[in-house]
Structure 1
Amino acid sequence: MEAVLEFEKPIAELESKIRELKRLSDGGGVNVVGEVARLEGKLEQLLRQTYKDLNPWQKTQVARHQRRPHWSDYLAGLFTDYTPLAGDRGFGDDQAILGGLARFRDEAVMVIGHEKGRDTETRLKHNFGMARPEGYRKAVRLMELADRFRLPLITLVDTAGAYPGVGAEERGQAEAIARSTEACLNLGVPLISCIVGEGGSGGAVALAAGNRVLMFEHAIYSVISPEGCASILWRSPDFAEEAATALKLTAQDLKRLKVIDDIVAEPLGGAHRDAAKAIDRLGAGIAAALDSLAGKSPDVLRDERRRKFLTLGTAGVA
């Protein structure tokens, strides 16, 4: 049975009551239409109130929700004619970062993103979305292909961070992440980066140094996970909630700090409650971002992107 987030328990209880009443009504002999309508109105009000006031730790939990849309959902909902491209031409094919050629609203593009997996089998296959060096080297290869063939690049970021295992370090994890970030900055084509769930550490930045950075309303984006930050500062992951607040990892904080460009509104109650609507809204955001960059030369795109990231954090500095 799917775990219910602590702050969502009153919502889950009300949803359970509604389901039970509908079941009784379907069985015949009981007219509960009025009561169901009343409870559904109460549910909508509760969802609005709850999700209006989420704190950073609660948003972290929503960003990690197992029913949020995944890579495969975005591919099915936003892209057509997808042709996957595999391997880094050096070591192997990482399954945490996937990508290939596709069409977005009839325009040829390159799309790259993280896949966390949906159940035990696929999570192990995709290493929970934590890429190894060959994943970032594959991403660089696809970025260079996009640049060569003048294809806009769209990236979908959803990772707790790069894989920290010994083998990954032996194969040059830090260098691979740096090269991927550098490749983003060097592109002469539009790069639209979308933080759709977790944007963790350099493992996220390596795909997110875009001309436009979009972020879902309840996604998170930070230099380290709240648990990792708490383990360093307080020497205990028990302080993760405090760390989440201090990290300024919410879309609202990051928009204010100009780390991201636009916030994509999620359906009432989060993307996990209506994946199709969330995907449609992201598609509209991507289309608007691409339109805003249309006609710009490679040099202008490259220069704007570099200046965007080089000036982060310099506000008010003499």
Structure 2
Amino acid sequence: MIIRGSLTHVLPIDDVSQVGHARRTAQKLAEKQGFDERDAGRVALVTTELASNLLKHAGRGELHVRVLPRPQGGGIEVLTVDRGKGFDLNACLADGYSTGGTQGIGLGAVSRQAQAFDAYADARGAVLLARFYPRTDTQPDWRFGVSQHSLHDDPACGDTWLLAANDTGISALVIDGLGHGEEAERAAQAGESMFALAPFNDPLLLLEDMHRAMQGSRGGAVAIAQARLDSGSLRFVGVGNVSASVLSAEKSRGMASHPGIVGGQYRKAQPFDYDGISGQLLIMHTDGLQSRWSVKDYPGLVHCHPAVIAAVLHRDFCRGRDDVTVVVIALEAVNG
């Protein structure tokens, strides 16, 4: 299975009138993915509840929507992000709890309507996640998360990413095209298209192929991480300033990249191998995100769904002066 990069669709929620727009947007997106009336209705109902809950406890925030490609069809991710004062998750998850102005299903019912639900809240704000798949899709949720945003909401984004999974492992790519805008996007897409042809090839050979594909463009920074889940090992190779780390609740291991520009000039890269990665998290991000973050500053966050982690990191550490991409992957079997 291959999932190619796409921007996060962001809907501002700062007025009750925008709740209806968010509901219609999510429902139409679900229908385009083949959701029947009942399943699309679940997406609409939960989107209304999450957006209304955001207004009630934070006053304003954002609703993020993403299509989740599957071997057949696709799913829908709905995620709310705010900078409010947080709220009591246990109270909100209790049956009978109702947010004002909604149909009153409560977050407890939301968690049962969605195939995947998670949340994180503290004094810095809250992130709530709901993922939906058609009832005919019985495959488990792939525990990855992506938050990708272009500078000033430009339709062109100089960052791109790709995830591939097979029976024994995961291969992940993040590219940061030099600069931003259309030329940076062309550079990143040239490298991503080459990588997609054989994402489980030797990473050094992949890097060389991508280098040739990106010549004549601006070039960019590239990071490739290939996890072998059967052996609990990971191989990483990077050129440029895409950051990567493997972490658990106890420790974090940063991964070293080499200086240079793929498609421009770089010295021969060297891969690095890491053992004992099973059950841990792989986090990769472009330099649109500050490097000085630590999940230890967020008690319990490391145990949350990767999509929640990606959204929290983007909310609190986005520099605001470049495209930004955060990819978080649970290093565990994808097909359950």
Q: Normalised by the size of structure 2, how large is the TM-score? A: 0.28
Rg comparison, structure with higher value = 1
TM-score, with structure 1 as normaliser? 0.29
